[in-house]
Amino acid sequence: MKQNKILSLLGIAMRGRNLVSGEFQTEGAVKNGSAMLVIIAEDASANTKKLFTDKCSFYEVPVYEFGTKTELGRAIGKDLRSSLGVCDAGLADAIIKQLETK
């Protein structure tokens, strides 16, 4: 149930144009300060996970592992996605709250 809530919040962020997806766009959003939250797929490669954990810790952006590439892509209406960046503070807070209530 909680997983559906998170995926629907990601879909809302995408429709509101408050979400970037894919490695290059997400990394750019972290660097320019527009990303409030980064989500990495649990089945992403070790290199991708390391890249985003290092970048996010340097730029002080919260990062979480959640879902699979297929689930993340389907939630935002795209193909496989291994990384997503949420660029709206309110949506990021709502998603973080859901992620932390396990």
Supply the pLDDT for residue 89: 94
Residue 67 is part of which domain span?
A: 2-100
Nearest-5° Cα angle at 75, 83 to 48:
10
DSSP assignments along 50-80, one per residue: HHHHHHHHHHT--EEE-S-HHHHHHHTTSS-
Instruction: For the full predicted model, state whether its pTM sits above 0.85.
Output: yes
pLDDT, one tens digit per residue, over 7-60 is 999 999 999 999 999 999 999 999 999 999 999 999 999 999 999 999 999 999
Provide the number of structural domains found in the chain: 1
Supply the pLDDT for residue 48: 94
CATH at residue 23: 3.30.1330.30
> Would you say residue 87 has pLDDT above 70?
yes
Computed over every residue of the chain, the mean pLDDT equals 93
Label residue 102 by pLDDT band (50, 70, 90).
low
Q: What is the CA radius of gyration of the chain?
A: 12
